[in-house]
Amino acid sequence: MDQTKERELLGIELDILRYPDPILKKPTEPVSAFDEDLAGFVEKLYMAMRAHDGVGLAAPQVGVLKKIAVVEYEGKSYTLINPRVLEKRGELEAEEGCLSFPGIYALVKRPEWVRIESQDTEGKTHVLEAEGFVARAFLHEMDHLDGHLFIDYLTPLKRGAIRKKMMKQTRGTSAEPPRAARRR
């Protein structure tokens, strides 16, 4: 049994992966089992998202390579399982952040309006239309399901600066001593 599945079954809180964790760049598999385990996992996604003051969270961000994402904005919750874009219109550039990139924000161009199809925890298919911020949140989380990150929309220079900053953050939180200290 893989470690992620074991953590889920034991009811351990979900940890949000930080860039540059390679899992964040991996595509996900469709959900085929709509059962209590799925519903429980989705609830844990919502809990982790809320605990970190997020508006969206995708399964790969907690190490689960399944097509599952949640979005919550202005009191409305959206569970997106096996989502796909049906139609998109317009373009809007706005600031985005990501729970896998704490403290990092950048301007990203995305469609202003989207129509998507997704399933809920019972497997029922729904068509959702969203504009503005909610459309952006849907697309941001759906990108995670394909192994794409919001920094992929940035120029190489901006991407490099963010990569460098995240590497510093990762080194700063590591339990491993700095390279110079290890040599002694």
Catalytic positions? 141
Rounded distance between C-alpha atoms, residue 58 and residue 49, angstroms = 9
Rounded distance between C-alpha atoms, residue 130 and residue 115, angstroms = 7
Q: Is 135 left (phi over 0), alpha (psi -120 to 50) or beta?
A: alpha
3-state secondary structure (DSSP) of residue 98? strand
3-state secondary structure (DSSP) of residue 26? coil
**Half-sphere exposure in the Cβ direction for 168 (13 Å, CA):** 8
CA-based nearest residue to 96, from 85, 83, 109, 105:
105
DSSP string covering 122-162: T--EEEEEEEHHHHHHHHHHHHHHTT--GGGGS-HHHHHHH
Query: Which residues make Cβ contacts (< 8 Å) with residue 123, sequence separation at least 6?
Result: 34
